[in-house]
Structure 1
Amino acid sequence: MFFFLSSLPELFVTVNRQPRGRICFSFLWVEGGRRGPCNPTAFAMEQLSTANTRFALDLFHTLNEKNPTGNIFISPISISSALAMVFLGTRGTTAAQVSKAFYFNTVEEIHSRFQSLNADINKRGAPYILKLANRLYGEKTYNFLPEFLASTQKMYGAELTSVDFQHASEDARKVINEWVKGQTEGKIPELLVTGVVDNMTKLVLVNAIYFKGNWQEKFMKEATADASFRLNKKDTKTVKMMYQKKKFPYGYIQDLKCRVLELPYQGEELSMVILLPDDIEDESTGLKKMEEQLTLEKLHEWTKRENLALIEVNVHLPRFKLEESYNLNSHLAHLGVEDLFNSKADLSGMSGARDLFISKIVHKSFVEVNEEGTEAAAATAGIATFCMLMPEENFRADHPFIFFIRHNPSTNILFLGRLSSP
């Protein structure tokens, strides 16, 4: 099984039969109020946000271990949503491993919560474009359990399209790619490369998310100029540095010597939040200390609105575009999802038989940040000490930083990244 995710995130999953079949799943992809005893739905949605964020940070740390200095960009909500659909078809130990790694076991009625989140994400009339779409492409001669197909359609809006993988796998691949291309406004033109699906493929599940939003406060193009971006203590590169001076939510974490800036998109339901160290103090990107302390509790503490002040900020932010691709098998195995990728897999909830396993999960992501906004396809007590702020602050992102795009009503992280080299 392949997962291919792009952020625009997209995830493609292929499940192999033992020994003769393969199912492909392809996915592309992303404040709660205080919960009260009389609002169980809000409580459950907060549980989902917490689960998704914990997984996002776990995966970020795992990717960072393999790539401690390079760019990282993922759509954790896309991966979680995709695996939630897979979770519908898992049983036994396989289900337990997926549930634990993605923290699904901490959320009541997990699939209903994803259903609600998808509806919230896809709502109409917003001043930005944010859409999440799912579709199943199944081998026309293979019998999937009606219950599995009904659940994916009801909870995730994933309708089944029958295709002929057995005799025309290349044509089927092109059909899938065209659908993905349309859903991502052309940003993911070829999710599935030649050879990814073949005559043994049984199912491709596609989850696509696309986001395009304009800044609440745009950067003026005439203010953009060439500037040096410090990759580390020794190396620099020239970038197009944007600039504006406006009032933004801003904070400073004294313990980490780190600045926090929130850049809202129009409508303020979505924001980009940037964590920027004062300087490069280690021998790599300057982010090591922050990354070591990056937990759910601390991230919430660092970035929640109550700890930020709306003040004048001189913002210098590089124009950048990232396109990343990951094979997630080893990373998810590191997080405890092991049986899914071999003959031990129990995906009998999909077909009624234990003859399927996931052969590969690939996640692709794309993001572009410029003066207008962002386009992306493809989320403890005493943890921080904040200091008093000056009436005006400087935020010069001319060295590596961590950023994420947050869906503020649900607090879900749609996209998460580290910019080491624009």
Structure 2
Amino acid sequence: MFNKLKYFLFILAMFIILNIYPAMAEINNISDGNNKFAFDLYSNLTQGKEDKNAFFSPFSIVSAMGMTYEGAKGKTKEEMQKVFHFLVDDKARREGFLKLISEINKKDKKYELHTANALWVEKSYKILEDYLKTVEKYYYGKATNVGFIDPSEREQAVFLINSWVMGNTKGKIKDIIKPQAVSHDTRLILTNAIYFKGKWKLQFDKKLTKDEDFKVSTEKKLKVPMMRMAMKGFNDYPEFNYAETDELQAIELPYEGGELSMLILLPKGNLEGIEKTLTYERIEEIKRSLSLRPVDLYLPKFKFETEYSLKPVFSDMGMPTAFSNDADFSGMDGTKKLKIDKVIHKAFVEVNEEGTEAAAATAVIMVTKSAVEEVKKPVIFRADHPFIFIIQHNKTSAILFFGRVHEPKK
């Protein structure tokens, strides 16, 4: 009997080593690249815009650009690889995306989280079968033929794409494609959508929410609905993963199910002070230092939407070729006729006493080149001034959403 048990344990161990560990390694490679890109993009989007809220989904952008990357060649591919930190090895990259998307879309969760990809192809334009198969197999991106050239069909194509995005974001992302963004030169649009809704593991008591000051800057304050986490009993504060440095406080707020959480970075001085040194490596260091502490927690309710045109941003980050007449996307159609015309990203977030709802979508519009270019005393975590927040998938460490609250009411 003992020998049978040892044999069973050996087989189980081998299964884990041969199947689970490699799968997680592939996912982690994609997550690492996604997260590095997240911080690069955050730095670019917030530079010179200290008085603005920011919110985006690096995962949505990376997914849409990952499908686009599958058709890139030469210098175009090299530049995109560096900007998005894509794995060079095709098999490892594709398997990583496949497993990460499958993990995000798994069933039987205590929260809502799903993502979807799609391709929208001008019906008269020939896209290589191998490219379409790769995108469908590894990114779950199915192609739909639509009419972009014919003006009478173009409006219907835009409606179809926007309806798909709305359906996959529970109506939170509307009209990602404006009619004027599509022309007779449009040949292909690649889209991603992601939606999340989760309840806090420990919810805020609505009775404790009241209007309090939020210090936007040394000169400006505004009244916002400030939530407070209720005590479990007399002088008995709830515990959260918490860390503190000379510059900031960090807290992790888990959602029901424990698979996702929000990490909040609250500066002790101004937000720009910590943004200058904010990197993926530093966040990982902060996360490693988190430990359970009783916390007297205050957090403002907030809700806002953002929209970004990412073409100039990505060009500045190091991939101008993809948008130029020198672009090479011959892996898509067998020619060098295509280039990226626009990359549009929209996002939505709402944080309240119950939890968080967030959604985002990305559209990559491609045209032919003829087109135009531990202590008894609790620590106090009072988020009453601008802060950074990140919604992360804990199992894979993938950053799903990234934001900055400058003014909760904007």
Q: TM tier, shorter chain?
A: 0.7 to 0.9
1:294 aligns to what? 278
Distance in 2 (CA, whole Å) between partners of 1:275 and 1:389 is: 21
Deviations 1:155-178 (A, max 9, x none): 111111111222210111111111
Do residues 263 (structure 1) and 253 (structure 2) align? yes
Measure how far apart 1:247 and its partner are: 2.5
Do residues 109 (structure 1) and 92 (structure 2) align? yes
Matches within 5 A, 1:198-209: 198-209=183-194
1:276 aligns to what? 266
Do the aligned partners of 1:250 and 1:310 also contact (CA within 8 Å) in 2? Answer: yes
Matches within 5 A, 1:384-399: 391-399=377-385
Measure how far apart 1:390 and its partner are: 5.4
2:314 aligns to what? 332
Pick the structure with greater CA Rg: 2
Do the aligned partners of 1:248 and 1:311 also contact (CA within 8 Å) in 2? Answer: yes
Matches within 5 A, 1:32-111: 39-105=21-87, 109-111=92-94
Equivalent residue letter for 1:199: H
Do the aligned partners of 1:248 and 1:263 also contact (CA within 8 Å) in 2? Answer: no
1:363 aligns to what? 345
Do the aligned partners of 2:241 and 2:253 also contact (CA within 8 Å) in 1? Answer: no
Measure how far apart 1:37 and its partner are: 10
Measure how far apart 1:335 and its partner are: 1.6
Do the aligned partners of 2:110 and 2:256 also contact (CA within 8 Å) in 1? Answer: yes
Structure 2: runs of 5 or more not aligned: 1-15, 231-236, 362-373
Measure how far apart 1:221 and its partner are: 1.2
Distance in 1 (CA, whole Å) between partners of 2:313 and 2:225 is: 34
Distance in 1 (CA, whole Å) between partners of 2:33 and 2:338 is: 27
Do the aligned partners of 2:176 and 2:344 also contact (CA within 8 Å) in 1? Answer: no
Distance in 1 (CA, whole Å) between partners of 2:338 and 2:241 is: 50
Equivalent residue letter for 1:415: F
By relative contact order (CA 8 Å, sep 6+), the higher-ranking structure is 1
Equivalent residue letter for 1:169: R
Task: Give RMSD over aligned pairs.
Answer: 1.9
SS in 1 for 2:312: helix
- Between 243-252 and 82-91, the greater mean CA deviation after superposition: 243-252
SS in 2 for 1:105: coil
Do the aligned partners of 1:328 and 1:360 also contact (CA within 8 Å) in 2? Answer: yes
Measure how far apart 1:226 and its partner are: 0.6
2:371 aligns to what? none
1:411 aligns to what? 397
Structure 1: runs of 5 or more not aligned: 1-34, 380-387
Distance in 2 (CA, whole Å) between partners of 1:187 and 1:112 is: 30
Deviations 1:200-248 (A, max 9, x none): 2211211100111111111111111011111001101111111114533
Matches within 5 A, 1:163-202: 163-167=146-150, 168-202=153-187
Identity of aligned residues (%): 40
CA distance 1:241–1:134, change in 2 (3 Å): same
Measure how far apart 1:391 and its partner are: 3.9
1:120 aligns to what? 103
CA distance 1:149–1:37, change in 2 (3 Å): closer
Measure how far apart 1:106 and its partner are: 6.2
SS in 2 for 1:322: strand
2:327 aligns to what? 345
CA distance 1:359–1:110, change in 2 (3 Å): same
Matches within 5 A, 1:200-239: 200-239=185-224
Structure having the higher helix fraction is 2
2:305 aligns to what? 323
- Between 42-51 and 96-105, the greater mean CA deviation after superposition: 42-51
Distance in 1 (CA, whole Å) between partners of 2:17 and 2:250 is: 29
Distance in 1 (CA, whole Å) between partners of 2:224 and 2:322 is: 43
Q: TM-score normalised to the size of structure 1?
A: 0.84
Distance in 2 (CA, whole Å) between partners of 1:160 and 1:44 is: 26
Distance in 1 (CA, whole Å) between partners of 2:203 and 2:164 is: 32
Deviations 1:170-211 (A, max 9, x none): 111111111111111111121212211233221121110011
1:30 aligns to what? none
Distance in 1 (CA, whole Å) between partners of 2:17 and 2:404 is: 35
CA distance 1:299–1:110, change in 2 (3 Å): same
Give the one of 245, 252, 275 matched to 2:243: 252
Measure how far apart 1:393 and its partner are: 1.5
SS in 2 for 1:166: coil
Distance in 2 (CA, whole Å) between partners of 1:114 and 1:406 is: 17
1:144 aligns to what? 127
Distance in 1 (CA, whole Å) between partners of 2:245 and 2:132 is: 51
SS in 2 for 1:119: helix
Equivalent residue letter for 1:45: I
CA distance 1:406–1:248, change in 2 (3 Å): farther
Distance in 1 (CA, whole Å) between partners of 2:48 and 2:87 is: 27
CA distance 1:37–1:162, change in 2 (3 Å): closer
Measure how far apart 1:408 and its partner are: 0.2
SS in 1 for 2:118: strand
Measure how far apart 1:90 and its partner are: 0.2
